[in-house]
Structure 1
Amino acid sequence: MDQAAPHTAASLAADLRDLGVSAGDVLLVHSSMRSLGFVAGGPRAVVEALLAAVGPDGTLVVPTHTPENSDPAGWRSPPVPESWWPVIRAHTPCFDPARTPSRWVGVLAEVVRVWPGARRSDHPQVSFAALGAHAAEIVARHRLDEALGERSPLGAAYRLNGKVLLLGCGHDSNTSLHLAEWRQTSPPRTEEGASVRQPDGSSRWLTWTDVRTDEGDFGRLGAEFEKTGAAAVGRVGESAARLMSQRALVDFATAWMAAHRVRSAGA
């Protein structure tokens, strides 16, 4: 069936308010632009709708991840020859919040990243960008070894009682669930590597140890969370949308993982 009329920034903002987005919200958004249907003005209009919904006292937050800035020894899709690894480590340009584009997190995130006034955290692999009243607070002090933990924008959003909005995507894209992984007792850890900017602007390959992420059960976890009735489900444009308290989500996920994830021997 043809949709009656194009969606607009105003109509999408109304849909967001009907879903439960309120003025002053800290709103962490994961999105698929295609899922929204035709929008007059495209991605820019969608960002304007999100900003209108949270208002001048609210804050819009998006992931601006750069997973290609990682150790090539772990690449699988596709792998690269081992002989290339030293070259990649030595010559990958350092992550620069102002210059490095996001990858695989959707066009809306990239539009927010370059929006006037946007602030971006300084993690070389899992940065976030924010616009609005709490932007600076959310992106500050993103530690290298706290990629998605307490001292990351996810932890900041939790402390600010933020909300998570999934637009046309599932819980497998819900990065807030990773915060629950950091909150487990002795979570599995792994070595990471990336090209990191030095104080003089030069690049240096660094390695560090952080919590190992695992999205394999996020779909099941998210479905169990939604059964509690704590997520509002509706339509924004043509998109199936889910809105939830990030704090309620993370608290539920922390307990769920402790009960359902099987620990490896010696973990």
Structure 2
Amino acid sequence: MLIDYAGPAPQTRESIAADLTDLGVRAGSVLLVHSSLSSLGWVSGGALTVVHAMLDVLGPSGTLVVPSQTADNRDPSTWMPRPPEAWWPAIRDSLPAFDPDRSPSVRVGVITEQVRTWPGAVRSAHPQTSFAAVGAQAADLMSRHDTDCHLGEASPLAALDAVNGATLLLGVSFHRTTVFHLAEYRQPDPPRRNYACAVRTPAGGRRWMEYEDVVLDDHDFGDLGRDFEQETDAVTAGPVGQADCRLFAIPDAVAYAGKWFTRNRGGGGA
């Protein structure tokens, strides 16, 4: 494959760290990052360089968090594209159980996988919507993630909210803002549905598990994020490399989203 080296100068560990600092990322903070490596331009060292740069800025007292979700660990009837119905029983019987140490994250980018596999990284226990963290508060923030609470009060999102963490959208849109889901859980009587996935048994085997949890609905997160940025002064925008980025405090985003859902979703989920 040919590589196109045209365009601006390459991004380096030092240049990315400088841009993060200019954006407002501070040492000692807790930072939840949603990212697109390609949005940064040509990075010397790729995802490894980006993670080094983020940890350089956060310092030894800071904590870096990423979504390490395993979205394919779910009932095949909900997959898109959907496999033939005749396959569903075999998939349910054979899909590997979630393993925090080995299950790769899915469709959340190579920077996330770099963090997940980083020395000393801690991953939360949810078989579908886990998070991974590196840094001073990693173990505490990842310590609780109940299976019947994807992104609510018994998940790392609530822990991030409690310590006044921040979200960085690194070259991705507000559609990827996971913390908005925490506001869904805090709506009165949010709609619920059944979920299913493969989990490990205490003896080290696997089983197919079904459970009920809140409906996760991100269809309007783009509109929500636009209004959040336009109607408040809580969002800082700026470049990191060639990426268009947003930085904001998680409590601000959750509080605004709760009010926005009340106005735009009729007081509950969609």
Task: Give the TM-score normalised by the residue count of structure 1.
Answer: 0.96
What letter is aligned with 1:10? E
1:20 is aligned to 2:24: yes
Which residue does 1:179 correspond to in 2? 182
Return the letter of the residue paired with 1:41: G
One-letter amino acid matched to 1:72: P
Q: Could you list the runs of 4 or more consecutive aligned residues of structure 1 that deviate by over 6 angstroms after TM superposition?
A: none
* 1:9 is aligned to 2:28: no
Deviations 1:177-213 (A, max 9, x none): 1111111100000100000111111111000000001
Residues 53-92 of structure 1 aligned to structure 2 (within 5 Å): 53-75=57-79, 77-92=80-95
Matched residue type, 1:191? N
Structure 1 position 230, deviation (Å): 1.1
SS at match of 2:157: helix
Structure 1 residue 262: Cα displacement: 3.4
Q: Does the 8 Å contact 2:187/2:267 carry over to 1?
A: no
Aligned amino acid, residue 34 of structure 1: S
Q: Does 1:160 align with 2:160?
A: no
Q: CA deviation at 1:90?
A: 1.1
Query: Alpha-carbon deviations, 1:71-90, whole Å to 9, x = none?
Result: 11222x21112221111111
Q: Residue 212 of structure 2 aligns to a residue in which SS?
A: strand
- Map 1:25-40 → 2, pairs under 5 A: 25-40=29-44
* Alignment gaps of 5+ in structure 1: none
Task: Say if 2:157 and 2:179, in contact at 8 Å, map to a contact too.
Answer: yes
| Mapped pair 1:106 → 2:100 | no
Q: Percent identity?
A: 52
Counterpart-to-counterpart distance in 1, 2:83 and 2:9: 47
Distance 1:197 1:254 in 2: 35
Residue identity opposite 1:229 in structure 2? D
Alignment of 1:209-248 (within 5 A): 209-227=212-230, 228-248=232-252
Residue type at the aligned position of 2:155: S
Q: 1:98 to 1:213 in 2, by over 3 A?
A: same
- Partners of 1:262 and 1:92 in 2: CA distance: 38
C-alpha deviation, 1:263, in angstroms: 6.5
1:229 is displaced (CA, Å) by: 2.0
Alignment of 1:142 with 2:158, yes or no, is: no
Distance 2:226 2:267 in 1: 22
Query: What is the rounded CA distance, in whole Å, between the counterparts of 2:54 and 2:19 in structure 1?
Result: 10
Partner of 1:201: 204
Structure 2 distance, partners of 1:263, 1:183, is: 11
Counterpart residue type for residue 195 of structure 1: A
8 Å contact 2:261–2:267 — kept in the other structure? no
Q: What is the RMSD of the two structures over their aligned residues, measured on CA atoms? A: 1.4
Of residues 246, 252, 257, the one that matches 1:253 is 257
- Number of corresponding residues: 264
Task: For 1:58, give the aligned amino acid.
Answer: G
Q: Distance between the aligned counterparts of 1:123 and 1:226, measured in 2?
A: 31
In 2, Cα distance between the equivalents of 1:68 and 1:143?
A: 19
Q: Which among 38, 42, 48 is matched to residue 44 of structure 1?
A: 48
